[in-house]
Structure 1
Amino acid sequence: MNRLIGLVEDDPNIRDIVEAYLKKEGYQVISVETAEEAWGIFEASSPDLWVLDIMLPGMDGYEFCKKIRLTSEVPIIIISAKDDEIDKILGLELGGDDYLTKPFSPRELVARVKRHLKRWEAMKPLSEEKVDVIKAGDLELSEAERRAYFKGTEVEVTTKEFEMLRILASQENRAFSREELLIKVWGDDYYGSDRAVDDLIKRLRKKMKELPIETVWGHGYRLRDQSS
């Protein structure tokens, strides 16, 4: 299987149990106690998925999740003793893909790890030979390479950012609802709210300030056709 899991948990008992179950399923695991250690692993080893506790010494799990989401859409499963709905929503809206409340079944965690890794693989290019290029005004997307160019300059985008651009650029001037974009980009079993769409659009506007992504008030977003 050879998938690498990053595990961030300061409780040694929980950490040992989760690590044992993941390794039994054939995963490689790097486990640490702090988000600061985990950040070094993120930059050096690029795990395929993170299992992340929220209540950590030093940098907490929320902040670590936000830092990862600046450059990557790697799956993040949050595990936490905080079971209030507001905590779950916050964790998901900051970039978590899933949320498990302690105490949880290690088998359930493994099942969710498998599901999110399967989706992560499906989001990657199906074929390196694909040569499709999408052009929309000054925006150019290479689907084969999963690269985005704006005004001739490459812009670093995450997997979900690329997918959002692909959807909008493929049908210029069409108004997509937030719910529709949420399902297309995150999947129909995503647990967060449609604020995730707003956050993603905000990041794209920051990276490409002159890209004409328009807000359709009370509905969603569209990419304006610049040729007319």
Structure 2
Amino acid sequence: MDGNPGSVPKGAAASRPSSGLRAMVVEDERQLAALLGSYLERDGLDVTVVHDGLEAVETARAVDPDVVVLDLGLPGLDGVEVCRQLRTFSDAYVIMLTARSEEVDTLIGLTVGADDYMTKPFSPRELMARVQAMLRRPRQAGNPVDDVPDARTFGPLVIEPLGRDVWLDGEPVALTRTEFDLLATLSERPRMAFSRGQLIEAVWGGAWVGDEHLVDVHIGHLRRKLGDDAVEGRFVRTVRGVGYRMGTGE
């Protein structure tokens, strides 16, 4: 860990004005929680810190955070169950923290809807870079873009980028922010085969550092929610040796 736990490092940049965005740190190591909270506050976020899983779920309902930094090993409820419950009422970005590097822990966390993960020990500055990259993604309807149609149709699948809505056979599909961003990226240029690196840059941001296998995990979640699979590739096709492209829906 860089920096002195529980204090802001000497020479650190002055705090930014409040962004109006809310962060929640869920970490039972109190010194680490205080350190992460101080970094987030310096980046202009309003921060709430909790130390156990049961409290995290209740606090998230009250605070409605934009981003959650969530430790995997928590008292009360573990991070996987907290994330699972969060996803029933919140579309906050979730970064999972784990002291265990085994891939199974990472995949379990991502399966329940975490957007990213970091393995301890890590640099708080890298964590802040990932948080800022996430928060720069468009998350609400904005001004129309001239060359982007209001709705994109692929057979029975309809994607509305401005409202961030997805419909399949006339029924809404509940996607996490990361899943929607992947689908929006693929559907914006449906004839293009995207490499994993290109999808990482488009969705996670150019500053993201980590295993590109993360893309495969989220594509798998997206396919399951769309009733698709890698063999059929009705909506998301695998391009061997390259990555992924949009399917026609037929």
Normalised by the shorter chain, which TM-score bucket? 0.7 to 0.9
State the partner residue of 1:134.
152
Give, in whole Å, the separation in 2 of the partners of 1:181 and 1:18. 28
Q: Do the aligned residues in 1 keep the contact of 2:22 with 2:47 (CA within 8 Å)?
A: yes
The gaps in structure 2 that reach 5 residues or longer are: 1-17, 229-233
Q: Which amino acid aligns with 1:213?
A: V
Match among 47, 53, 59 for residue 35 of structure 1: 53
Moved more, 189-198 or 130-139: 130-139
Moved more, 172-181 or 21-30: 21-30
Shift of the 118–177 alpha-carbon distance from structure 1 to 2, 3 Å rule, reads closer
**TM-score computed with the length of structure 1 as normaliser:** 0.74
Moved more, 148-157 or 121-130: 121-130
Pairs within 5 Å for 1:3-152? 3-19=21-37, 22-23=40-41, 27-65=45-83, 68=86, 72=91, 74-76=93-95, 78=97, 82=99, 86=102, 90=106, 94=110, 95=114, 97=116, 99=118, 101=120, 109=124, 112-113=127-128, 116-117=131-132, 119-125=134-140, 127-128=142-143, 132-152=150-170
State the partner residue of 2:189.
171
Give, in whole Å, the separation in 2 of the partners of 1:30 and 1:13. 14
The gaps in structure 1 that reach 5 residues or longer are: none
Match among 231, 234, 240 for residue 217 of structure 1: 240
Question: How far 1:86 sits from its partner (Å)?
Answer: 4.6
Shift of the 20–213 alpha-carbon distance from structure 1 to 2, 3 Å rule, reads closer
Pairs within 5 Å for 1:184-223? 184-210=202-228, 211-223=234-246
Moved more, 168-177 or 136-145: 168-177
* Matched length: 220
**TM-score computed with the length of structure 2 as normaliser:** 0.68
Determine which structure has the larger helix proportion and give its number.
1
Q: SS of 2:244's equivalent?
A: strand
Task: Work out the percentage of aligned pairs sharing the same amino acid.
Answer: 28
Shift of the 93–60 alpha-carbon distance from structure 1 to 2, 3 Å rule, reads closer
Deviations 1:19-41 (A, max 9, x none): 45655665432221112221222
Deviations 1:73-118 (A, max 9, x none): 515263x6x3x7557x93897335463745x7xxx73784376246
Q: Do the aligned residues in 1 keep the contact of 2:141 with 2:163 (CA within 8 Å)?
A: no
